[in-house]
Amino acid sequence: MRCHEVDYQVLGDDMQIVEVGLDPGETVIAEAGAMNYMEDGITFEAKMGDGSEVGGGMMNKLLGAGKRMLTGESIFMTHFTNQAPVKRKVAFAGPYPGKIIPVDLSKIGEELTCQKDAFLCAALGTKIDITFTKRFGVGLFGGEGFILQRLQGDGMAFIHAGGTVIHRELRNEKLLVDTGCIVAFTPGIEYDIQSVGGLKSMVFGGEGLFLARLSGTGTVMLQSLPFSRMADRILRNAPSAGGSRKGEGSILGGLGGLLNGDNR
């Protein structure tokens, strides 16, 4: 199934949205809850599946829904269709601060492998599937578990990443990356892990026990602020159940709170 040809515009800086323009009859699929706003004439419907299973029947849809459950996503995807006689727009936003990355799948071999929560929306006809990491060690220590998402098609897809996004072009090269910083990679890139080095580096280096090793020829997309890192920092500095809180970067944090009128 050929993908619908949609227009788009990415708006904003650190809290971006992507505004997708739909001609009459065109459809864009998205994760549940990703829609920000839509113009009059666009209708939406929650469906089991991404719409690429033409003629596949209910069993294919159930299989696709089961795969999505493994990634922790909703078994339903929302289909937004322009029912108006003129072009209309619908916009989608990421769930946390970061960047939206437009990807023309037709220009990268019609396939993209990404972390399981990176997908935001795509033109109808894009197949949203899962792929299992090939090696047990990668799944166990690689930060994203055994399951990654695979997007296939010949149209536009949009993924979301935290912080700043960097594109690295590898030409039969190797790149070591923090496991949580990988957003996506194109065909031709192999994904593996390796230990960080000696025992002292593992315990005191602050980089975890393993790094991801990306090798081959293709494009790698990296994020500067994985959501897990941001959430961990927030939790470490959030008030405890007793109401106390930690000072950020200073032993005088408690005193600073008193001076600011915080008597907890």
Q: Show pLDDT as tens, one digit a residue, over the chain (264 residues).
A: 688 999 999 999 878 999 999 999 999 999 888 999 999 999 999 987 777 765 555 556 556 555 556 555 567 889 999 999 999 999 999 888 889 999 999 999 999 999 878 999 999 999 988 876 655 444 455 455 457 889 999 999 999 999 889 999 999 999 998 878 899 999 999 988 776 665 454 454 445 567 788 999 999 999 988 877 777 777 877 776 555 555 444 444 554 454 455 554
Enumerate the domain spans of the chain.
7-229
pTM value is 0.78
CA distance 73 to 32: 9
- Number of Cβ within 10 Å of residue 206's Cβ equals 7
Of the candidates 33, 35, 220, the one whose C-alpha atom is nearest the C-alpha of residue 114 is 220
| Amino acid 148: pLDDT | 82
User: What phi and psi, each to the nearest 5 degrees, are found at residue 151?
Assistant: -105, 130
Report the DSSP beta bridge partners of residue 229.
none
What is the CATH topology of the domain spanning 7-229?
Answer: Double-stranded beta-helix (3.60.160)
74 burial class (0-12, 13-18, 19+ CB within 10 angstroms)? middle
Enter the tokens of residue 160: 């979301």
CB 131 within 8 A of CB 150: yes
| Amino acid 258: pLDDT | 47
- Number of Cβ within 10 Å of residue 28's Cβ equals 30
CB 30 within 8 A of CB 41: no
- Write out the H or E segment, with its range, that includes residue 173: strand 165-177
Q: Give the angle subtended at the CA of 109 by the CAs of 51 and 222, to the nearest 5°.
A: 95
Residue type at 157 in one-letter notation: A
CB 20 within 8 A of CB 90: yes
